[in-house]
């Protein structure tokens, strides 16, 4: 009886906070939070929160409130297997954990009006999973933020167009398990160097004074990843677009919609400030690392390549067609 009452309270508390739990086809839980003022006719992005080792989706869902774009996205937090008794190690995409996420994405796409890609966020064990998934299944991924992973996988040039935000705490030097070939910070640095060699699209940071925690930079850079990849534009470019869209919004609200389609189509050819790329040191607290390793990055700290430029151009066109145009035509 007592257990039944506690179970009811648990279900009620989840519903009150807008979190619902479901089972995927692998009989594993996943937790879903809809944005405030959810509108079934509106298209939403999907943010995937990946829990740490021995964790679960319910626990990591508390991170959702840290993101400024939480009301622009449906948030999902799956529970993945983390030992062989559960089916495998999700950190290495074991136990069909990658197929599990793809199934959840497709299932949610049948229930809700979702955009074409998902944003991945993971810390610690979640970092191990998120960057490996993004490298392997890049066609599903909008961007990926991975921090303080206990291990880092292979870099795939097939995912060189996807933006990654990778980080580790300056004091996060320990090994995740005794058999690891190196500690978290050393492995992060090694992986970052592989990202540079393979000319990947990324921003990096060793966070001063941070141990194995999640600092403001991790949340802030995820907000920027969201804005960058949902619009295809960097901050100064977004300001230029905003001025034009504000004019169109005023036009639409006033009922002057005769030339609206034409004005929207002109946005595709809008001229933006050129980004300034230069050779710069990696963002590290170690002078030795900064002197030894350099990358070519823009004023926002992101590297780039031709595939990345094409990707952002495609995201911008997608944004106009699937976000701006429907909004402006709804007035």
- Annotation: CATH topology of 18-329: Rossmann fold (3.40.50)
pLDDT digits (tens, 9 = 90+) for 81-137: 988 887 789 999 999 999 999 999 999 999 999 999 999 999 999 999 999 999 999
- Which tokens belong to 4? 């039944």
Q: How is the chain split into domains, by residue range? A: 18-329
Residue partners of 181: CB distance under 8 A and separation at least 6: 187
* Among 270, 297, 264, CA closest to 283: 297
Count of CB atoms within 10 A of residue 103's CB? Answer: 17
The pTM assigned to this predicted structure is: 0.93
Number of Cβ atoms within 10 Å of the Cβ of 54: 9
Convert the pLDDT of each residue in 145-202 to its tens digit: 999 999 999 999 999 999 999 999 999 999 999 999 999 999 999 999 999 999 999 9
Q: The tokens of 272 are what?
A: 């933006």
Tokens (6 digits) for 154: 């292979």
pLDDT band at residue 53, thresholds of 50, 70 and 90? very high
């Amino acid at each position: 009886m007592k257990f039944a009452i506690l179970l009811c309270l648990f279900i009620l508390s989840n519903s009150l906070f807008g979190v619902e739990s479901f089972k995927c086809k692998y009989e594993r839980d996943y937790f879903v939070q809809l944005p405030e003022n959810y509108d079934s006719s509106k298209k939403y992005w999907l943010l995937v929160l990946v829990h740490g080792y021995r964790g679960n989706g319910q626990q990591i869902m508390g991170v959702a409130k840290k993101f400024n774009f939480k009301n622009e996205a449906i948030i999902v937090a799956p529970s993945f297997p983390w030992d062989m008794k559960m089916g495998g190690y999700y950190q290495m995409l074991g136990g069909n954990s990658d197929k599990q996420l793809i199934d959840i994405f497709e299932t949610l796409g049948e229930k809700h009006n979702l955009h074409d890609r998902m944003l991945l966020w993971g810390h610690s064990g979640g970092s191990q999973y998120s960057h490996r998934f993004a490298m392997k299944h890049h066609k599903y991924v909008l961007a990926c933020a991975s921090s303080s992973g206990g291990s880092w996988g292979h870099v795939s040039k097939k995912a060189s167009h996807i933006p990654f935000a990778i980080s580790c705490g300056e004091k996060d030097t320990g090994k995740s398990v005794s058999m690891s070939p190196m500690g978290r910070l050393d492995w992060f640095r090694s992986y970052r160097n592989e990202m540079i060699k393979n000319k990947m699209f990324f921003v990096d940071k060793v966070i001063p004074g941070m141990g194995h925690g999640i600092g403001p930079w991790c949340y802030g850079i995820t907000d920027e990843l969201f804005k960058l990849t949902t619009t295809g534009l960097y901050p100064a470019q977004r300001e230029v677009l905003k001025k034009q869209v504000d004019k169109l919004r005023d036009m639409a609200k006033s009922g002057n919609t005769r030339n609206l389609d034409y004005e929207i189509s002109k946005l595709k050819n809008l001229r933006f400030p050129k980004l300034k790329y230069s050779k710069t040191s990696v963002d590290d607290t170690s002078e030795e690392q900064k002197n030894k390793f350099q990358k070519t990055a823009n004023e926002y700290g992101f590297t780039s390549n031709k595939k990345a430029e094409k990707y952002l151009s495609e995201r911008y066109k997608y944004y106009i067609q699937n976000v701006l145009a429907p909004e402006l035509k709804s007035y």
